[in-house]
Amino acid sequence: MTLTADRTATGQFWSDVDRHLVRYGAPFTPEIIERAAGSFVYTAEGRQILDFTSGQMSAILGHSHPAIVQTVQRGIASLDHLFSGMLSRPVVDLARRLAGSLPAPLEKALLLTTGAESNEAAIRMAKLVTGRHEIVAFAQSWHGMTHAAAAATYSAGHQGYGPTPPGNFAIPAPNPYRPDFTTPDGELDWQRQLDYGFALVDAQSSGSLAACIVEPILSSGGVIEPPPGYFAALAAKCRERGMLLIVDEAQTGLCRTGTWYAFQRDGIVPDILTLSKTLGAGLPLAAVVTSEEIERAAHERGYLFYTTHVSDPLVAAVGNTVLDVLEAEQMDVRARDLGEFLRAGLLEIRGRHHVVGDVRGRGLMQGVELVVDRETRQRSDALGARITRRCLELGLHMNVVQLPGMGGTFRIAPPLTATREELALGLEILDQAIGEATAAT
């Protein structure tokens, strides 16, 4: 293709985008992506871009991992999709293996497609089993865009869509960098904050509290990691009220934070666990995992969550391959080691740039919060957008939280297969981009 023809084709592409695509969130990245491999994506112009977000925080084994490619090629030629009432070996094998990776009594799995769908199924199950309907979530949560999941999502998406289902309550997220309740020395007093949050819930509840749904690390909310001890206290609040605890590990599950599941740090076991993103390593696979007792109660009450792609064999086979690779290559250990390297580099960047207010996270899920002033901790959506643009120009794809008033926190989640050299490259580009973007103001 000649240069002129190539430019014409590119112009037509973006014309078609403007004419035919529904816009569904943040602006589209101004690149045409032709292929992806490992830790990189490649544009139509031949540019190589380091992917520091694992796609949509999902491709934990990098793009086009050979084992995943082989599984998909084999599966699409033999066993792809079935009637929802039919079962196959990959589905049963994955359910068994998920149970084997989790503490008792989590042993019953429902295989679905997306995080929103798994949270929808979990909330529906909790309501049916408890006979109640009220749901509690963090005020900066993201659980998906389907009906019940969206009602429990408070970081965005409520305005303009009419009333949500009755009985949804928000409690404040425990953010150590921006404490609302403080101890005498100015640190976050999370116990007092939690007590206050549930006092408000109790005041508003009609006596029908069914469940609390939480992320171990609030990703879209700004990579907020509740302090040690918080989730044990939250679980106790749930038990006191007869509520189920649903833990949403869409982004944190399966080794990303340095343990197989992020909730393990806190010594708790959720009543219902939801998985997605990382389970399919970029393909549409999700799971709801719960106890035999809860599953039996749900079944006896006529639990219904019948979808087109429930228990699909092809993606279940991919899930088994993901577990194979995670186990064989000890990806939990790798994520811990690489996470320490990444964090050390981010702290060095913080030491060089006054606009970096905080570095936080665990393993290969790190957050960098940008501020105009470290003393006031004033946010700047514009600053985050400028640095993101400069990173892309230099060959690094970064995701900055783009919600109103929260647009200054980078979510950094490279693949677990990334090398130290690739992480070092990303750190170098980020360092340069911050310096150039701040110098230009």
Domain identity same for 59 and 195: no
Structural domain includes residue 322: yes
Domain identity same for 134 and 273: yes
Domain identity same for 143 and 246: yes
Number of domains in the chain: 2
Structural domain includes residue 4: no
Reduced 3-state DSSP string for 53-122:
CHHHHCCCCCECCHHHHHHHHHHHCCCCCCCCCCCCHHHHHHHHHHHHCCCCCEEEEEEECCHHHHHHHH
Domain identity same for 404 and 311: no
Q: What residues are labeled active site? A: 142, 215, 248, 251, 277, 411
pLDDT in tens, 354-363: 999 999 999 9
Q: Which of 328, 347, 369 is the last residue of a domain?
A: 328
Q: Which of 278, 297, 328 is the last residue of a domain?
A: 328
Contact 205, 218 (CB under 8 A): no
Taking 90 as the threshold, does the pLDDT of residue 382 lie above it?
Answer: no
- Distance between CA atoms of 423 and 185, rounded to whole angstroms? 36
- Distance between CA atoms of 65 and 79, rounded to whole angstroms? 20
Taking 80 as the threshold, does the pLDDT of residue 405 lie above it?
Answer: no
Residue 25's domain comprises: 11-65+330-439
Question: pLDDT tier at 173 (50, 70, 90 boundaries)?
Answer: very high
Contact 192, 230 (CB under 8 A): no
Structural domain includes residue 232: yes
Per-residue pLDDT, 3: 63
Residues in contact with 365: Cβ distance below 8 Å, sequence separation at least 6, in sequence order = 217, 219, 223, 251, 252, 256, 257, 339, 411, 412, 413
Domain identity same for 299 and 376: no
Contact 253, 220 (CB under 8 A): no
**Phi and psi, residue 74, nearest 5°:** -70, -45
- Distance between CA atoms of 72 and 242, rounded to whole angstroms? 43
Contact 339, 345 (CB under 8 A): no
Per-residue pLDDT, 393: 97
Q: Which of 200, 201, 181 is nearest to 191 (CA)?
A: 181
Structural domain includes residue 177: yes
Domain of 313, CATH number, reads 3.40.640.10
Per-residue pLDDT, 403: 65
Share of residues in the chain with pLDDT > 90 (%):
92
Taking 60 as the threshold, does the pLDDT of residue 206 lie above it?
Answer: yes
Structural domain includes residue 23: yes
Per-residue pLDDT, 243: 98
Contact 166, 204 (CB under 8 A): no
Question: pLDDT tier at 334 (50, 70, 90 boundaries)?
Answer: very high
Domain identity same for 153 and 252: yes
The stretch 295-310 carries a mean pLDDT of: 98
Cα-Cα-Cα-Cα dihedral sign, residues 198, 401, 419, 249: positive
